[in-house]
């Protein structure tokens, strides 16, 4: 009997075919609506593998309903939507998709930085609304990027790729990380700084750190008050790292110049969220890895993790290394 799996969102046909070759598959067919909790509670009871997204909360209560689940394959790098501790206690592999979205997310981060600095969205709206009457010396003036100081909080793969792009703009690059990255310092000419110094000195601050209990509200009222009033904050990491209420007040009171946000604490964000009312904020719907090629590669990697897990093999990209044994399945 083939292992059974449940997929929580429509994935590329080529990826679905690969999974279907070895597994009995059920899939939530709605493109833009997350699978309802009640459906997930029903399906998880008798499946061997779960292919999910950040939109699904896989908590202890849900995992208690799983009778034979062996692997949770998250189609994302982050996995704060999953109670990894509870999964580990039940001997369930948790996997993610690292590496494949590094360059695409770095592209989007720098694009968001540029769009915010040069007021691209605001300028486009200005033109489309018929407000452009004449050329004016200070009309829609923004901030220079070339030669500016970039502060990167979290020097992982994406942080390094962002630094590589910034070097092409001759930027001075500061970074803050849990540990020094001496090889990256040599390669990219970047400088380590404590968090407060980075915030004080940077013209652009990019949040690239993972979401953890330690990084929740890492950037709040105090941290924003350290930044230059001409500085720009970019967050393409995870919602909840930047305190949104504090950011709103800092932007509204012109304590910082602008912000570019791809992630929110609650997603999808409400259309009446205060940050969406400000002209000096560029907001995006969590599209950091949204290129056709990258999303396809993410799905393929998540599928490979899923198949390894349901077949009783420790998946290559497991995040809970303590789970090293899985029950073999008769196939």
Catalytic positions: 238, 267, 286
Find tokens 């995992």 and name the residue: 63
Task: Provide the sign of the torsion angle of the four alpha carbons 202, 203, 204, 205, taken in this order.
Answer: positive
Strand partners, 172: 149
N- to C-terminal Cα distance for the chain? 5
For the chain, strand residue ranges (E) read 4-7, 24-27, 49-52, 71-74, 93-95, 149-153, 172-176, 191-192, 204-207, 232-235, 258-261, 281-283
- 6 SS3 class: strand
Please, which residues have CB within 8 angstroms of residue 258's CB and are 6 or more apart in sequence? 116, 117, 119, 143, 232, 233, 251, 280, 281, 282
Q: How far is CA 66 from the centre of its chain?
A: 27
Strand partners, 6: 26, 50
Cα(284)–Cα(269) distance, integer angstroms = 10
């Amino acid at each position: 009997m083939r292992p059974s799996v449940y997929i929580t969102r429509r994935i590329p046909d080529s990826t679905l075919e690969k999974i279907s070759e070895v597994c009995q598959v059920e899939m939530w067919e709605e493109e833009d609506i997350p699978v309802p909790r009640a459906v997930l509670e029903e399906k998880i009871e008798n499946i061997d593998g779960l292919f999910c997204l950040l939109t699904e909360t896989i908590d202890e209560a849900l995992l208690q309903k799983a009778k034979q689940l062996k692997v949770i394959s998250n189609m994302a790098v982050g996995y704060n939507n999953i109670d990894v501790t509870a999964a580990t206690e039940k001997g369930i592999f948790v996997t993610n998709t690292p590496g494949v979205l590094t360059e695409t997310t770095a592209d989007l981060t720098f694009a968001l930085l540029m769009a915010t600095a040069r007021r691209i969205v605001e300028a486009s709206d200005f033109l489309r609304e018929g407000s452009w009457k004449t050329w004016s010396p200070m009309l829609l003036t923004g901030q220079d990027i070339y030669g500016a100081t970039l502060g990167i909080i979290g020097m992982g793969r994406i942080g390094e790729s962002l630094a590589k792009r910034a070097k092409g703009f001759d930027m001075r690059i500061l970074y803050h990380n849990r540990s020094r990255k001496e090889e990256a310092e040599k390669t990219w000419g970047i400088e380590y700084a404590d968090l407060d110094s980075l915030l004080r000195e940077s013209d652009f601050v990019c949040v690239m750190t993972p979401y953890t209990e330690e990084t929740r509200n890492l950037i709040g009222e105090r941290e924003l008050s350290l930044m230059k009033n001409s500085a720009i904050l970019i967050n393409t990491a995870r919602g909840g790292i930047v305190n949104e209420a504090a950011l709103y007040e800092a932007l509204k009171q012109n304590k910082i110049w602008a912000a570019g946000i791809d992630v929110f604490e609650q997603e999808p964000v409400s259309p009446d969220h205060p940050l969406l009312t400000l002209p000096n904020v560029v907001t995006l719907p969590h599209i950091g890895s949204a290129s056709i090629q990258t999303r396809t590669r993410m799905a393929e990697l998540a599928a490979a993790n899923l198949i390894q897990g349901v077949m009783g093999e420790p998946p290559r990209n497991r995040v809970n290394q303590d789970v090293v044994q899985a029950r073999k399945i008769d196939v």
